[in-house]
Chains A and B, each alone.
Chain A
Amino acid sequence: MSSLQGYVDRRVLLVLQDGRAIVGVLAGYDQKSNVVLSDSKERVYSLDEGVEEVPLGLYLVKGDMIILIGEIDEDIDRSTDLATIRAEQLPPIRY
């Protein structure tokens, strides 16, 4: 069983179907991979300016919306300066 158990209480990156990226601490999840994030922020990427972080607080994301959940390596994340990163948003999914 490939569960999300190992990610509870860790900082994770959520990639959603529309290409949005949200980081937060995984507070809980269920069988349908619905997920609750605490202290969450959306990371808005653009080519013209650095990454903008929009605070979202406690957030529940429906499992159907989720593409990927990644565990964030805190050291690497802290040492990257988001303001210097220029990138397109991740593409939304196409069937």
Chain B
Amino acid sequence: MLIFSVFKTLTDQRVTVELKNDLSITGTLKSVDQFLNIRLDAIEVLDQARHPHMMAVKNCFIRGSVVRYVQLPSEHVDTQLLEDATRREAANSNKQR
């Protein structure tokens, strides 16, 4: 749930998504849902010459389950806040048990 919130704060930023088929796609993050499915606009495929399959595709929906990595713009992630939120969430889930 935490990571979902992080992604929501990153909408309209440029991110690079590496998929489990080794394709890397850079695009403007448009939206995310609870499965971490991702909508990207103005996409560019890394190594377009080798992968011309998506030449005519300008925006896409990526299934969360096939994402390997997402490269985030570090200046837009408050890591301190993220650490604190992670600790808070861990503390809460310990309390519940």
**Which A positions have Cβ atoms within 8 angstroms of B?**
1-4, 7, 13, 15, 17, 19, 21, 33, 43, 45, 63-64, 66-74, 76-77, 80, 85, 87-88, 90-95
Contact indicator A70/B59 (Cβ below 8 Å)? yes
Contact indicator A87/B55 (Cβ below 8 Å)? no
A-chain residues with CB within 8 Å of residue B30 when the two chains form the complex:
2
Contact indicator A2/B51 (Cβ below 8 Å)? no
B-chain residues with CB within 8 Å of residue A15 when the two chains form the complex:
21, 53-54
Q: Closest residue of chain A to B17, judged by CB?
A: A68
Number of residues in B with C-beta < 8 Å to the partner? 30
Contact indicator B53/A94 (Cβ below 8 Å)? no
Q: Closest residue of chain A to B63, judged by CB?
A: A66
